[in-house]
Amino acid sequence: MPSVLVVEDDQFVRSALIRHLTEASHTVRSVGTALEALREVAHFRFDVVVLDLGLPDLDGAEALKMLRSITDVPVIIATARDDEAEIVRLLNDGADDYLTKPFSVEHLSARMAAVLRRTRGPGQAPPPRVLQVGGLSVDPLRRQAELDGTALDLTRREFDLLAFLAGRPGVVVPRRELLAEVWQQSYGDDQTIDVHLSWLRRKLGETAARPRYLHTLRGVGVKLEPPAAPERPA
């Protein structure tokens, strides 16, 4: 049964969401502030967070950025704002979906089901084999990755990015394709990809200036390939 964190300061809306989501067989916890939401995700594991933007202590957009710094849980934004530029910015900042108020609980449930299908990946069966690129091993079925025999502690998005590139070793993947396949977004800016590549490089023990596995071709895309073998002395 999926567990949901509802972050909503309007007590009437909160109560209605809790009641209907519970009736739909979800496990629900709820808070009314951004700081309480951060404490919740730090101590409990959720399948999805429903985040209101108009919170009393911190704007929801800032709360989203803080959530993304500590968790990869899917986040659905619930907002009365319908400005397209802001919606695009929220998606680029890590939101998985958004709903414009007022919305029905049925609509929310459908969006939650869609987000969970995407993040759990039932639509596409993962490759039935372990991907090996040099000393890097990626197991899509178990969602585990190792570097030289040591397990890597990756967020959901970091793992998805690594697995996608590992399935195409040596192939330069355009950034637009990464946005579409890893982020399920048809538009966005390069900053989203660059930030996750930076985090992933750090965990692989490399930098953009001295890459081992991840190579960025400016203006083209990204490729993952094994490190070059050291030259033997003559």
State the Cα–Cα distance between residues 178 and 156, nearest whole angstrom.
15
User: 95 with 43, same domain?
Assistant: yes
**CA distance linking residue 181 with residue 190, whole number of Å:** 14
Residues 146 and 217 reside in one and the same domain: yes
Give the model confidence (pLDDT) of 185-234 as tens digits. 766 666 788 889 999 999 999 998 999 999 998 878 899 998 876 545 55
Question: Which residue among 120, 141, 160 closes a domain?
Answer: 120
Does residue 126 sit within a domain? no
pLDDT at position 1 is 63
Distance, in Å, from the CA atom of 195 to the CA atom of 150, rounded to the nearest integer, reads 23
233, part of any domain: no
- Element at 222 (helix H, strand E): strand 221-224
The secondary element (H helix, E strand) that includes residue 28 is: strand 27-31
pLDDT digits (tens, 9 = 90+) for 23-68: 887 888 999 999 999 988 888 888 899 999 889 998 888 899 898 8
* Statement to judge: residues 24 and 45 lie in one domain: yes
- Per the CB < 8 A criterion, the answer to whether 20 and 105 are in contact is yes
Range of the domain at 12: 3-120
Burial of 104 (0-12, 13-18, 19+ CB in 10 A): exposed
- Indicate the pairing of strand 144-147 with strand 150-151: antiparallel
114 shares its domain with 10: yes
Asked if residue 7 and residue 113 are part of one domain, the reply reads: yes
Taking the C-alpha atoms of residue 135 and residue 172, their distance in angstroms, rounded to an integer, is: 20
CA distances from 196 to 5, 137, 158, 202 (A): 25, 19, 6, 10
Do 24 and 108 belong together in one domain? yes
CB 161 within 8 A of CB 200: yes
* 232 assigned to some structural domain: no
Last-in-domain residue among 120, 151, 167: 120
What's the pLDDT tens digit per position in 62-117?
899 898 888 888 999 988 877 878 888 888 888 888 888 888 888 888 888 888 87
The whole model's pTM is what? 0.53
Domain's final residue, options 93, 120, 147: 120
How much is the average pLDDT of 137-145?
A: 86
If 0-12 CB within 10 Å is exposed, 13-18 middle and 19+ buried, where does residue 206 land? middle
CATH code for position 140: 1.10.10.10
- Beta-carbon contacts of 203 under 8 Å, excluding residues fewer than 6 positions away, are 152, 153, 154, 158
196/150 same-domain check: yes
Q: Give the helix/strand (H/E) hosting 38.
A: helix 34-43
- CA pair distance 183, 149, nearest whole angstrom: 28
Q: How many domains are there within the chain? A: 2
Q: Are residues 42 and 111 in the same domain?
A: yes
